[in-house]
């Protein structure tokens, strides 16, 4: 089946990679634990199909990625050797770590590669030129290879040198992960099986406003949870205790609700909420009506009635996209609402797309990721797509049909 949004862009399948030097922009921005070890290798595992595809065709694979935010300086704890070690285990073949991503030593190491070899360049963000989109830095990266493959969905909303600069110098195509990610979001936005429901949560309306505006005309039901529910409740005139309300977004929220009513979209806010005096473990909690939040208390999660209602609504859906948790799920006292939504989606027989970031963290924490249709590796890129905006990392790729 031909993918949707990439029908106009070249993919790795449409270019001859045999024996070629191929620069792969991967997303190895993995979380690290307190000891500096990899806490979750999901993003590394997601890159394996593209890497294996290239190795099977005797390409010389030059991997590059960022890790965290070193702000243009070398931070020893953010070197990519730990990623190379994990990749070596997962691929069952050597992955050589280089000590930089450009320069004579890197050029020599790449020149010595044989077909099927894999090297991993050092953290791109050790160079400030990466985030600045510096043309010379991009050209230096491009000089290492004959073909460029973007497989970093999680970085494709950034106009960084390795994402949009390198494609100006090399034949540039999408990798298998980028293709899969973009296709999943495009399908639900353009041709969802109905009923189509969206679950949008998180702390702030401002982070999701463009998503809400783009998705309301497309869905049959819109479920709102998380801290951002406070702004919706405030827009209806209810007290929200000490919960954060974005007063500068109240008019926008009212317009969203009006738009939903005009379109016949069911917009569900939580009927009840879990509140606490502080968002900390071990503090006293209460379940109260969403219209009767006591002074000095903050919304920490949706309540059991809300979870029941949301689950009933989702149970009748054929397509669901979820971006943003229902509460501060990292704290056990405030995790139940998010867990209930995740469990509802896990039991759904239709299509379930999890929109990256903390939502992906949540379904993984609850052990339900394998029961979802698609779990995204990119939070910011997923939001960009859900907002209906182009990804620079996709638009910079070669058009299909070009030589």
Catalytic residue numbers, as ranges: 43, 204, 357, 380
Closest by CA to 259, choosing from 213, 228, 223, 313, is 213
Cα–Cα dist 285/127, whole Å: 46
Distance of CA 197 to the CA centre of its chain: 19
Token pair 């970031």 is at which residue? 357
The secondary structure of residue 164, as a DSSP letter, is I
Q: In 10 A of CB 147, how many CB atoms?
A: 20
Structural contact between residues 49 and 178, judged by C-beta atoms closer than 8 angstroms? no
Count of Cβ atoms closer than 10 Å to residue 371 Cβ: 16
Phi, psi of 102 (to 5 degrees): -140, 170
Q: Which residue has the tokens 């704290």?
A: 331
**8 Å CB contact between 54 and 22:** yes
| Omega of the bond leading into 195 within 30 degrees of 0 (cis) | yes
Cβ pair 23, 60 in contact under 8 A: no
């Amino acid at each position: 089946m031909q993918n949707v949004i990439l029908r106009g862009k070249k993919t790795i399948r449409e270019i001859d990679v045999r024996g070629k030097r191929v620069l792969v922009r991967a997303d190895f921005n993995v979380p690290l634990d307190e000891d500096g070890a990899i806490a979750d290798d999901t993003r590394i595992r997601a890159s394996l199909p593209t890497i294996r595809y290239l190795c099977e065709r005797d390409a010389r694979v030059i991997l590059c990625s960022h890790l965290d935010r070193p702000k243009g300086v070398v931070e020893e704890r953010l070197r990519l050797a730990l990623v190379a070690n994990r990749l070596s285990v997962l691929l069952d073949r050597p992955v050589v770590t280089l000590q930089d991503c450009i320069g004579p030593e890197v050029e020599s190491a790449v020149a010595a590669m044989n077909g099927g070899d894999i090297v991993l360049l050092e953290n791109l963000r050790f160079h400030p030129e990466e985030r600045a989109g510096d043309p010379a830095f991009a050209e230096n990266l491009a000089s290492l290879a004959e073909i460029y493959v973007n497989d970093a969905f999680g970085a494709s909303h950034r106009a960084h040198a390795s994402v949009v600069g390198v494609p100006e110098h090399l034949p540039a195509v999408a990798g298998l992960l980028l293709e899969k990610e973009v296709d999943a979001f495009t399908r639900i936005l353009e041709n969802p099986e109905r009923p189509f429901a969206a679950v949008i949560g998180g702390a702030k309306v401002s982070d999701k406003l463009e998503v809400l505006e783009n998705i309301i005309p497309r869905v049959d039901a819109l479920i709102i949870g998380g801290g951002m529910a406070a702004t919706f409740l405030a827009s209806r005139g209810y007290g929200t205790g000490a919960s954060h309300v974005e007063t500068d977004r109240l008019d926008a929220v009212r317009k969203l609700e009006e738009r939903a009513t005009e379109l016949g979209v069911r917009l569900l806010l939580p009927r009840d909420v879990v509140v606490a005096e502080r968002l900390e473990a071990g503090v006293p909690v209460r379940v109260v009506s969403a219209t009767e939040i006591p002074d000095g208390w903050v919304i920490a999660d949706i309540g059991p009635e809300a979870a029941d209602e949301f689950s009933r609504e989702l149970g009748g859906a054929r397509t669901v996209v979820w971006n943003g948790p229902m509460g501060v799920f990292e704290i056990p006292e405030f995790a139940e609402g998010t867990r209930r939504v995740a469990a509802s989606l896990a039991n759904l027989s239709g299509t379930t797309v999890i929109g990256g970031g903390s939502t992906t963290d949540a379904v993984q924490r609850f052990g339900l990721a394998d029961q979802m249709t698609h779990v995204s590796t990119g939070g910011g890129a997923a939001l960009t797509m859900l907002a209906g905006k182009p990804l620079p990392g996709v638009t910079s790729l070669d058009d299909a049909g070009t030589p």
